[in-house]
Amino acid sequence: MSFPIPIASVLTGATIPQLAYWRRHTNAAPPLLVPQGKRSGRYLYSWADVVALRSIVYLRQEKSLPRIRRAVATLRGLEAENLPMLEVLAPFETRSGRPVPALERPRPRIAVNPKVLGGYPVIAGTRVPFDVVASLAEDDLGPGEIAAVYPSIDQEAIGDAVSFAEQVTAVA
């Protein structure tokens, strides 16, 4: 599963214009990160892309973009795989004050796990995508009706799905 741009934006803290800028190739510099996927002309970010972008946004709080570009080039050269990422994966706030949720739990009952639906955000403990539940709630289905379709989903999970969907929609 891949992440569309608005979800990648929320999970990484990068704005949509930043994502576009970091994909561009200029005379001054190659792209910082080009997503691994593209469908119908739209970019799709992989789990690895999201973790890399989140790292870039985290580092951007203290470091200049040219320094980050050099660091990314060095990491690519090292082909590093298991870097300590605990701080990058935890919630943080961008320099502009934009809150970035914890990557693995952007809401208490929303989980992001690369082994479940390729890392697409789901209701924790299930394989049900958050946006499916949020859509049902937005279509005025009550918690009981949603629970009839998905018995493992409770009212708090529905609220988290709606809240996360609103954040994703706000950046789109």
The top-level CATH class assigned to 1-101 is: mainly alpha
Give the pLDDT band of residue 83 (cuts 50, 70, 90): low
Between strands 110-111 and 122-123, the pairing is antiparallel
Domain positions in the chain are: 1-101, 104-172
Tell me whether the CATH fold assigned to 1-101 matches the one assigned to 104-172.
no
CATH of domain 104-172: 1.10.10.10
pLDDT reading at 80 higher than 50: no
pLDDT digits (tens, 9 = 90+) for 130-148: 999 999 999 999 999 999 9
User: How far is Cα of residue 59 from the mean position of the Cα atoms in its chain?
Assistant: 16
